A and B are shown apart, each in its own frame.
Chain A
């Protein structure tokens, strides 16, 4: 049996979580989380770590040069830098509204890159 100690990043509380796995790598117990999000995070973290990504995208014709954006869902951790390349290639014309999809299904992850601010 193995165990992995994690700090949950699902929210600012940062619960210390322990994940117990049997010899075949199967998760037998998750301990220390105070909410279901922690359980989900811990199970994903020991099998296929994911992170939500935030960045900015160029804006043309707006009051500001860039608009902040985020991935609509978490994406595999190892794809963060590849996703940044795509985000830095993209641009969007003003006006921009919160929720506007800037890149659909980035790198085939199923996550969209969406705007997170209003730019006139």
Chain B
């Protein structure tokens, strides 16, 4: 027997994105008792619960918080409302009619009729299987986030001698965390010629502890039968292929992978949303509505962010958009956005022509650039032209499109963001 519930808004995911979206929907007029958040973990907060380091909240709250503290600000706000929360609840499917099918131990199977849905499932780490590393399959190889959960939530040290592949921020943060807990982090290998993490993390997580960072270097083999005994690393050429003769054996019992994050879009693909091949998230308009009317997406499920503060801001846009949709607002006609000349993607991928407010377009570049200009055009018109001292793939950028400019646009045009010579 399936229980059928009726809500105006169903939010899938109770991390920073889901909480901010639910609260923003309430603030924009959706009755709070008509909003429900579905979370698969035992508590709200999402991945912030295991991100115990500080550096969160400087943009949004103007103070430096740890991950759990940042999450708690929103958990407390949620507690003050009548927004329903179901924990330990897994969403299985969403239908074309915006029905959400979920399950948990208490309720069994639940069907929720929704006027609007916000997808806020976050992202997951790229696994070993995606890396094609040769060698055996011993215990001790795990993603940096998995190790982070072991240490910070379960209070369990997963190893003593560590090699980290990939210089993403989680890998850098875990290099410091494992070192402080007594492990020896022997090296961080990065296949690219530049780090994927923030500069501050290179300084305070690696340099502070004399942990070497080897660029253009990768793990080519994992050794060991039951447990990792070591890895072979090698330098790579311009095509990221190992250079013969540069192999080096490093004994270790643990290999952490920090090689990128992938938006968790199984649900989005199930319901056939138009996906962006670069962001790996759904394509959205400026209110973060996807190709299925009434279905919105925000946070890391839409695009992987550097800072949770920007996740919060984006989710508030989605919450407001969902509220407007529930109240009956519909748009006609969009103008598309795209990147070129080194701009890998733009979010949102389209803007409604009747948008009355300024719109921020977020983008990432595909390489490290110095002293270039970010130029935004629409037809012959230059909308934005500003010099940037540095652009890097690890840092999300944004440009503001003025409402007055949007008012003059037509559907056959497109907004193009590009990198030009200074």
A interface residues, Cβ below 8 angstroms from B: 6-9, 11-14, 16, 51-56, 58, 63-66, 68-70, 77, 80-81, 84, 88, 98, 116-118
| Pairwise interchain contact B68-A56, C-beta atoms closer than 8 A | no
Would you give 10 A-B contacts (Cβ < 8 Å), ordered by A? A6-B203, A7-B199, A12-B58, A51-B208, A66-B154, A68-B52, A77-B208, A84-B181, A98-B69, A116-B66
Q: How far is the CA of A55 from the CA of B52 in the complex (A)?
A: 7
| Pairwise interchain contact B203-A9, C-beta atoms closer than 8 A | yes
Q: How far is the CA of A44 from the CA of B53 in the complex (A)?
A: 21
| Pairwise interchain contact B152-A51, C-beta atoms closer than 8 A | no
Q: How far is the CA of A68 from the CA of B55 in the complex (A)?
A: 15
- Pairs of residues from A and B, 8 with the lowest C-beta to C-beta distance, nearest first: A68-B52, A14-B199, A117-B68, A66-B155, A65-B155, A9-B200, A14-B200, A116-B66
| In-complex Cβ contact of B203 among A7, A69, A70, A80 (8 A) | A7
If A11-B64, A68-B68 touch, whether A56 touches B151 (CB-CB below 8 Å) is: yes
Taking the closest CB of chain A, its distance from the CB of B285, in whole angstroms, is 28
Q: Does B307 contact A (CB under 8 A)?
A: yes
Taking the closest CB of chain A, its distance from the CB of B45, in whole angstroms, is 9
Q: How far is the CA of A82 from the CA of B162 in the complex (A)?
A: 22
* A-side contacts of B204, CB under 8 Å: 9, 51
| Pairwise interchain contact A117-B49, C-beta atoms closer than 8 A | yes
* B-side contacts of A68, CB under 8 Å: 52, 66-68, 152
- Per-residue A-contact encoding for B171-214, CB less than 8 Å = 1, 0 else: 00000000011100000000000000011101110001000000
- Per-residue A-contact encoding for B150-174, CB less than 8 Å = 1, 0 else: 0111110000000000000000000
Q: Does B72 contact A (CB under 8 A)?
A: yes
If A65-B154, A66-B153 touch, whether A118 touches B72 (CB-CB below 8 Å) is: yes
